[in-house]
Amino acid sequence: MRKSVSALAFAVALSSLSAFAVDIPKVSPSASVAQVVGTTRIEIQYHRPGVKGRTIWGELVPHGEMWRLGANDATTLSFTDPVWISGQEVPAGTYSFFAIPAKDRWTFVLNRNTKLWGAFAHDPKEDQLRFEVTPEDSAHTEWMTFALTPVGEDKVEVEFRWEKLRATFPIEVKVRALVWARIDEALAAKDIDAATYSRAASYSIATRERVKEGLTWSELALAQKRTAFALEANAKLLALNGRTAEAITTMLEARKLGEGQLPSEFFKRVDAALAEWRTAAPK
């Protein structure tokens, strides 16, 4: 009877442990890095092994074999929009991110199966992309790390570092094409509000693209809500369309409407534009 009670108590204790599971820290801690390019979010999730005095390349990480680019679960690379890597388009989504290291050249691999522990169940049929990168010598990095560094408005550089090696490659995003597609979609809807017209006009000013349409959008925004900011945008688009005299008149109206309400930065911006246009305007 005592044995039965003891066995029952032990079973209850085990069930209590499972109900209140302890989170055990991993030897290679998890990490992530993300960067927005335009409106596209790019993110890498991985686990960071340490060097710990070991020989990494050719021993711990064998040459010529598929490697998980970290520890534990396979590293993942994700994008919220299509991107271009090594001249090839990669659809939006999340991918397992592997490498095949060699002495002089590495092959990086994006695979559509993201539910993988390491690279043990990697299936080449699920590969989305393979591309090669030449690694470089670098200062010692004890804990494996990734970095994402913006390069201009439409590109980010992916940097991998571990031990005394680094490898980099760019990811490109067709930022303007994506934004214009979303603007066109928004403008195709019914009952478009002033804010939507204003955002479209602002992007036309920022990119200096589609400025004739931009002028129309700014006028439609003004028709709904005549504000100092809407007048400023309209003036800038008048100037971009070569209508400098009208731009000056409209900007002066924007300045007057903003007096006593808007911060000094607005008036500095307005006065700079007026000075530029007056210099360029015919005498």
- Per-residue pLDDT reduced to its tens digit, 29-80: 899 999 999 999 999 999 999 999 999 999 999 999 999 899 888 899 999 9
Given this model, what pLDDT does residue 277 score? 95
| Distance separating alpha carbons of residues 230 and 223, to the nearest angstrom | 10
- The more confident residue out of 90 and 19 is 90
pLDDT over 70, % of the chain = 91
- pTM, entire model: 0.83
Angle at which helix 194-207 crosses helix 228-240, to 10 degrees, equals 40
Given this model, what pLDDT does residue 187 score? 96
Given this model, what pLDDT does residue 27 score? 77
Given this model, what pLDDT does residue 4 score? 47
CATH 1.25.40.10 in the chain, residue ranges = 175-280
- Per-residue pLDDT reduced to its tens digit, 206-224: 999 999 999 999 999 999 9
Asked if residue 155 lies in contact with residue 173, where contact means CB atoms within 8 angstroms, the answer is yes
In the structure, what pLDDT confidence band is assigned to residue 157 with cuts at 50, 70 and 90? very high
Given this model, what pLDDT does residue 8 score? 47
The answer to which of 3-7, 70-74, 85-89 has the lowest mean pLDDT is 3-7
Asked if residue 247 lies in contact with residue 235, where contact means CB atoms within 8 angstroms, the answer is yes
Rg of the chain over Cα atoms, rounded to whole angstroms, equals: 28
Helices (H), 122-210: 175-187, 194-207
DSSP state of 24: P
pLDDT over 80 (residue 6): no
CATH for 175-280, options being 1.25.40.10, 3.60.15.10, 1.10.3470.10, 3.40.50.720: 1.25.40.10
pLDDT over 50 (residue 122): yes
The answer to which of 43-57, 86-100, 110-124, 236-250 has the lowest mean pLDDT is 110-124
Given this model, what pLDDT does residue 5 score? 46
Average pLDDT, the chain: 90
Angle at which helix 264-280 crosses helix 244-258, to 10 degrees, equals 160
Residues 6+ apart with CB under 8 A from 133: 105, 106, 107, 108, 167, 168, 169
The mean pLDDT value for 173-202 works out to 96
| Distance separating alpha carbons of residues 28 and 48, to the nearest angstrom | 5
